[in-house]
Structure 1
Amino acid sequence: MRRHPGLPRITLRSLRAVRIVGLLAVLMTTLLPLATPVRAAEDLTMETRALLGGHARVGTWIAISVRLKNDGPAIVGELRLAGGTQGQTRFGTPVDVPSNADQTYVLYAQPPAFGNTLEVILVEGDRTLLSSKVNYQIHDPGQLVVAVIAENPERIVNSVGSLPNRNQVAPLVIGITPEDLPARVEAWGLLDRIIWQDVDSERLEIPQRAALQAWIAGGGRLVISGGTVGPRSMSAFPDTLLPYRPAVTADVPASTLRGILGTLPAAATTLPALTGSLIDGRILASVGDQVVAAERSYGSGAVTILGFDPTVDWIAGTDAARNLWRRLLPERTAGGLTISDDTLLLNAVSQLPALALPPIGGLFALLAAYILLIGPLNYLVLKRLDRREWAWATMPVLIIAFAAGAYGIGAALRGSEVIVHEVAIVRGAPGASEGAAQVYMGVFSPSRTTYQVRVPGGALLSSPIAGDFFGGNVNVAALDILQGDPAGVRDLAVGFGSLRTIRAESSVVIPLVQTDFRLENGRLRGTVTNASDERLDRPAVVLGQTVALLQDLEPGAVATVDIAVQGRQFSTSLADLIVGQAFFDESTANAETSQTFVRRNMVDQLTYDPNFGSTNLLPADGPVVIAWGSATVLPIEIASEEPRYVGDVLYYLPARVRISGPTTFPSDLIRSTAVEADAFFFSKEPQSMSFGQGSVTVAYRPIGFEGTISATAVTINLGYGDEGQD
């Protein structure tokens, strides 16, 4: 083919040059990505482990320790993992790891109810540098969990023989180390009891010691036993917790321990024990003026010191050991305040006048006006103007105008401001100012938008356990949470006129309340003192199904309680007794009816058992002081917004009671546990049981109290009558 005169001449040399340039371009395209600096895998390592041995409950926090060792360039990134009940909430914490650094971070997560693995990833920008999987194990919300921190934990683990709970689930006894205890008390929700023996308490870091004290105040029980180390193992425990400070080791006769061991084994002999002088509390065993064993209450919990070693041969594995541990490690009270189904609290958060349905009368009036405007009025006006042919234009205009007006009315009813509705249950104890708050924060938006949310103080944030039913049409399960102080939620999407709920847990300071209760001759008597500088609204004292309503308590005020204990087969709900009855209609909701609805749901949440439904009993073994407040427990900040706050706070303070004189314990003050069953089938609920051919051994006990008991009669009631068989 002849070359065109206008084209350049192509020679063999030029073709060879073009080929070389093309080959170089291909090589550069291939090798350029390889020239980008890539971190060598051996320069960066990540080790992960779940604290508390990887055990957790639904609704509680699990702490994951992440160790990063960096021998390469510095890293500024983030640790992330997915968790939450739905497994779709992302938890993250920022990391800054310089070159040649060895650092440990802790991530907190809500473990999913189904599954046993969480994956932790380290990201830098959009790149994933490392990932590691962490195993965990979920346990029943009502299961008693005992942690043993000892030099030889297996000796104690094998000797603890506590009774199963009401769901027939045996206690879980695990051996851990001081390093397995989280630095935040929110992640101690798994633990009910701790046994400490022969381990130096100085191994606890300062945040762990503060968490231990808050855990005891919230209802935990710490048992410290003697062993081979001596008094120095307790040096880090403050005198404000200990019943006595062991000073010397002395030999004590076995008969000294009969009060806490019961009948002594035939092989019982003298044994060494740590002794000292009583600081505060109740003596369980003593030799002369020296205390050998004692117990001290702190908040809702207690600390017990056993100066002797309960694992010696003549105690371990005997009835004496079983009696000892069943006394010191009582059954977990229902589900406690561990919430595994928060549907009722979500309903409470959603109760805002801005979310209420419009009045039905207004809707009918709007519909009637629309019909009149489009039909007769439009026709009559056009007829009077003699312009009926304009109907083809006026009707669309009227429809558009009416639609715009209806939209404006709806927007006006919803409001134009961002509202934060806080519903909080704050658990504490009389005589203690430490408390734990479970807060549900509903963010209401008048328009569809995305917010950047901050919570000062470093609260642990998550999505609700039961999901979020009121988040509009957005993907309500996707919460992107950044842990730290302040904690934050990134890009919180809220639909038009909708409410998005965030769950938060944090340690808080609570109003100081003092109580003195006694049960005398079938009447609950005592006093409640508001020793704080805050007013307590509508306080009540609840014992079983007995409710004593008190007047508002101003700072420094004292209220007297004197009410007959009432046992009821078919009784009014506790919400009716504490808050009052309510006939709620969304179309007529106002601030007062909304508050009543919210508070009833909060009380109903406390009496709800995920296995049995409503029990109509608070999760406590003694009297409980309940009071209300409206202060903001956890402040929430929304970027570029000044939200209006609405809140309801329930203070939940389990107290102790002394019992004296002839006392009748009705069924709501009796706890039962199935000890043994050989029946073909067996099922037990709080108020009933069913089983096939065979036998069942059931243990009945009254609520916990200070003092001793001598039973004179037992009445068994079969059916629903008021009289039983002695």
Structure 2
Amino acid sequence: MKRLLLVLVVLATLLPGLVGAQVAPVTLSVRVGLGGLVKQNSWAPAIITVTNSGQDLQGEIEWRWDNEPTVFAQTLDLPRGANKQLLLPVRAPSFGGRGTVRFLVGGQPVALATAVADVADMGQAVLAVLGDEGPAIIGILMARNLPSLRALQLTSGELPDRPELLAAMNWLILTGDTAQLQAEQQAALQGWVATGGHLVINGARPQTALGLGALAPATVDDTDQTLPAADVVPPSEVAQPGPVHVLHLVPRAGTTAQTTATGVTTFVQHRYGMGMVIQSAVDLAHLGTTRAGLARLIGLDTLDLSSNNRSPAFGLLERALRLPALRLPSFGALLSFLLCYVILVGPVNYLLLRRWDRREWAYVTIPLTVAVFTIGAYLWGTTGRGSRVIVNELAVVHAASGATTGQATTEVGVYSPVRRAYTLGFPADALVEQSMSSFRRTAGTPIRTLRTDSAVEVPNVLVDVGALQSFTAEQTISVPPIRVTQTGGATDTVLVHNDSNQALEDVIIVQDGNALQVGALQPGAEQRITLPVNGALGGLNVPGQGTINRQAVLMTMVEGSGLFDNNPAAPPHPDASAPAPAVVAPQKGAASQLLVFAWLPTSQLPLQIDHRTTSTQGETLLIVGADDAPDH
């Protein structure tokens, strides 16, 4: 009998190792970020390659940063002989770029690999170059010695197909054939620009603008010509003396063009949403020098690289939510309750027992009074908390003028009247993370997001009694088209037209740190406003009628972004002694852009709790960037 027990113990010890040996043929490799670079607290792509030379497996791929508790996972079927590559969106850490990817089968790791990413600070600008001219352009820019600039080169295969995964970049210079990009990559570029990205289209070849459609501010004609380089930049800034090849750009309506003295268009720009697109007719690598040329041509000398044109959406919900169940009882109500308790348990109890000549009953009446008030306090608290789970949403959506899609950042708050763990289900295209304001990312409180074919699940979300747990979901959504057009003439005006079938509420025009309240805008209606906007943001009155305090949302955004700065400080010129160029790309400061804020009384993010669709209540704030007025 003892021998049999010994054999069983040995088998139990060796069995996990035997099972692991059977699945050991799984190998992993991973690279994280854009060219190995990620930006603090921004989404980044983790490209994972998995091979399997053993038996068929079903499991999960998961990534975790060494210094962060959040785990990002995805289900994966891995048949025998498979060699798969998948993209797992991960949120970059605040510090420390080392992480580990694991393949789990039945919850047990069977393969792992590590990777290290270069983490850029939020205050650092990142410029990427896509195409063959990357080394030349990056070399010029890095020789420019811009301390807050990080530069990297990308290939078309490294360009993500989601705008959220491009968030690490401030600038992107295109030099290759964009028609070779996938439709999802082209749409991602469009969404990235709408949320504040700056796109530069190099003029080395006409194919660079082919895949961008209307995002390119100009079309390229079949004809081209040559010009002396000094007609484009000062002679001291020309890298290669002699004539330069110039594409024939035909500016689109509503764009701003820069021409030479002979009328040749050299640069065209236009705003798209919160971002900017600059199209060059010449090869920037041919013109730029280490002295001044390229950095100034694309606006690096005049743009505040550390500014954040994209308005903040994180932490807004908890500051602006008006949920009765979260309110504490008023001071007057608590004081009245305590006074009643003191009076009843003291004077009233004593006087009654004295009148009845039953003072010895105090041993019974006092505990009974305490019990009654205890039960009353409990019922008061539970009644105030309610009896059901409440889900509130606040979406901030950035869109371009006239666009039917926008980039949404939705904060979801889950309130529970009792302490309980829930499984939350988000749409499959959402990038989900627990809000930092809700959960401080401490090592003892990990959250795991699992991507499946049909949803993004967050299991075991513990919500305390009467507390709120909030998550952030980012995705591309449909939006009501709003056309915002600036018109020139004797007086500058802006025309806001609601092209949708939905009414817009509390419409506000914002420019140069000032604001003007327009009010409601019905479907098909338009409003013409004379510029400049001179009203103070603090004087607006947009409280809203629902659970979201709209005024609190706007004021919180004022505190966290540069959208409302009255006097945005321009950074000093890196080389004040450098001569001014004869012709430069047209630039307009970020603060001069006109924005339209409009509210919708609903939100679009469906949510499941414990695998059942739940009702939500929420609102949507649309932020639409106006098209630039053409020069006049």
- Provide TM-score, normalisation by structure 2: 0.85
1:406 shift after superposition: 0.9
Q: Which residue of 2 is the match for residue 108 of structure 1?
A: 89
In 1, Cα distance between the equivalents of 2:4 and 2:256?
Answer: 92
Would you say 1:493 and 2:493 are equivalent positions?
Answer: no
Give secondary structure in 1 for the equivalent of 2:446.
Answer: coil
> CA 1:516–1:29 in structure 2 vs 1: closer, same or farther (change >3 Å)?
closer
Aligned equivalents of 1:102, 1:413: Cα separation in 2: 56
Aligned pair partner of 1:155 in 136, 141, 146: 136
After superposition, the Cα gap between the structure-2 partners of 1:520 and 1:145, relative to the gap in structure 1 and judged at 3 Å, is: farther
- 1:182 Cα shift? 1.6
Partner of 2:552: 601
Structure scoring higher RCO (CA < 8 A, sep ≥ 6) equals 2
**What's 1:577 paired with?**
539
Structure 1 position 627 matched with structure 2 position 598: yes
Q: 2 CA distance for matches of 1:638 and 1:420?
A: 10
Name the CA shift for 1:300/1:564 in 2 (closer, same or farther; >3 Å).
closer
Match in the other structure for 1:530: 498
Q: Which residue identity is paired with 1:98?
A: P
Secondary structure in 1 aligned to 2:285? coil
Match of 1:127 in 2: 108
Is the 1:82–1:119 Cα contact (8 Å) retained in structure 2? yes
Q: Note if contact 2:102-2:112 (Cα within 8 Å) is conserved in structure 1.
A: yes
Matches within 5 A, 1:84-103: 87-103=68-84
> Secondary structure of the equivalent of 2:552?
helix
Query: Are the counterparts in 1 of residues 89 and 431 from structure 2 also a CA contact under 8 Å?
Result: yes
The residue number in structure 2 matching 1:67 is: 49
Q: Where does structure 1 lack aligned partners over 5 or more consecutive residues?
A: 1-17, 583-590, 659-705, 709-726
Residues 1:502 and 2:484 are matched in the alignment: no
Alpha carbons of structure 1 residues 40 and 329: separation in structure 2 relative to 1, 3 Å: farther
Q: Is the CA contact (8 Å cut-off) linking 1:163 and 1:170 kept in structure 2?
A: no
Query: In 1, are the aligned partners of 2:295 and 2:301 still within 8 Å (CA)?
Result: no
The answer for the alignment partner of 1:254 in structure 2 is 228
Which secondary structure does the structure 2 equivalent of 1:326 belong to?
coil
Do the aligned partners of residues 483 and 59 (structure 1) sit closer, same or farther apart at CA in structure 2, a change above 3 Å counting? same
- Cα deviation code 1:86-107 (max 9, x no counterpart): 7122221111111111111222
Once the two structures are superposed, residues 454-490 of structure 1 have per-residue CA deviations (whole angstroms, 9 ceiling, x without a partner) of 1125211112234438x9xx99943221134422211
Cα distance, 1:404 vs. partner?
1.0
- The answer to whether the aligner puts 1:325 opposite 2:308 as a matched pair is no
Instruction: Please show how residues 22-421 of structure 1 align to structure 2 within 5 Å.
Output: 35-36=18-19, 38-39=21-22, 41=24, 43-83=25-65, 87-160=68-141, 169-197=147-175, 199-227=176-204, 230-232=205-207, 234-235=209-210, 237-246=211-220, 248=222, 250-254=224-228, 258=231, 260-262=232-234, 268-275=241-248, 281-285=255-259, 293-312=267-286, 315-317=288-290, 319-326=292-299, 330-332=303-305, 334-337=307-310, 339=312, 342-343=314-315, 345-349=317-321, 351-383=322-354, 386-421=357-392
Per the alignment, in what secondary structure is the counterpart of residue 51 of structure 2? strand
Query: In the alignment, residue 408 of structure 1 is paired with which amino acid?
Result: L
- In 1, the alpha carbon distance for the partners of 2:610 and 2:418 equals 15
Q: RMSD of the alignment, in Å? A: 3.7
- Structure 2: 5+ residue stretches without partners: 569-589
Could you give the per-residue CA deviations for residues 665-686 of structure 1, whole angstroms, max 9, x where no partner exists? xxxxxxxxxxxxxxxxxxxxxx
**Is the 8 Å Cα contact of residues 428 and 451 (structure 2) preserved in structure 1?**
no
**In the alignment, what sits opposite 1:551?**
519
Matched AA of 1:632: S
Q: Cα distance, 1:78 vs. partner? A: 0.9
Change (3 A) 1:95 1:604: same
Inter-partner Cα distance in structure 2 for 1:301 and 1:391: 76
Deviations 1:71-98 (A, max 9, x none): 11122111112359x7122221111111
CA distance in 1, matches of 2:95, 2:482: 40
Q: 1:383 to 1:552 in 2, by over 3 A?
A: same
Aligned twin of 2:571: none
C-alpha distance in 2 between matches for 1:305 and 1:110? 32
**For the Cα contact (< 8 Å) 1:162–1:325, is it kept in 2?**
no
Q: Is the 8 A contact 2:397 2:620 kept in 1?
A: yes
Residue 53 of structure 1: SS of its match in structure 2?
Answer: coil
Q: Quick one: distance in 1 between partners of 2:206 and 2:564?
A: 47
8 A Cα contact 1:252 1:287, kept in partner:
no
Matched residue of 2:140: which SS?
Answer: coil
Paired position in structure 2 for 1:429: 400
The alignment partner of 1:391 has SS state of helix
Residue type of the alignment partner of 1:181: L
Alpha carbons of 1:556 and 1:337: their partners in 2 closer, same or farther (altered >3 Å)? same
Which letter maps to 2:476? S
**How far did residue 393 of structure 1 move?**
2.5
- State the identity %: 26
Count residues with an aligned counterpart: 608
Where does residue 716 of structure 1 map in the other structure?
none
**Residue 134 to residue 31, structure 1, CA distance change in 2 (3 Å):** closer
The one of 448, 451, 461 equivalent to 1:483 is 451
**Is the Cα–Cα contact under 8 Å of residues 189 and 338 in structure 1 kept in the other structure?**
no
Counterpart check, 1:539 vs 2:510: no
**Larger Cα-atom Rg:** 1
The amino acid that maps onto 1:514 is R
Any conservation in 2 of the 1:417–1:644 contact (CA below 8 Å)?
Answer: no
Alpha carbons 1:261, 1:323 under 8 Å: kept: no
Opposite residue 214 of structure 2, the aligned amino acid is T
Range moving further from structure 2, 351-360 or 640-649: 640-649
1:514-565: CA deviations, max 9, x gaps?
12335888x7632211111221111111112322111211111111213555
* Cα offset, 1:652, TM superposition: 1.6
CA distance in 1, matches of 2:70, 2:294: 45
> Which structure 1 residue ranges, 4+ long, deviate > 6 Å from structure 2?
18-27, 161-164, 286-292, 616-619
Q: 1:602 to 1:148 in 2, by over 3 A?
A: same
- Contact 1:430/1:655, CA 8 A, preserved across alignment: yes
Look up the SS of the partner of 2:309 in the other structure: coil
Query: 2 CA distance for matches of 1:545 and 1:30?
Result: 69
Q: Residues 30 and 607 of structure 1: is their aligned pair in 2 closer, same or farther, counting only changes over 3 Å? A: closer
After superposition, the C-alpha distances for 1:296-342 in whole angstroms (9 at most, x for unaligned) are 55444344443432223x65445443442337994447212275x94
What amino acid is the match of 1:489? V
Tell me if structure 2 keeps the 8 A contact 1:141–1:338: no
In structure 1, the partner of 2:482 is 513
Does residue 639 (structure 1) correspond to residue 610 (structure 2)? The answer is: yes
Quote how far apart the aligned CAs of 1:29 are.
Answer: 6.2
Give 1:202 deviation, angstroms: 4.9
Counterpart CA distance in 1 for 2:325 and 2:367 is 31
Displacement of 1:355: 0.8
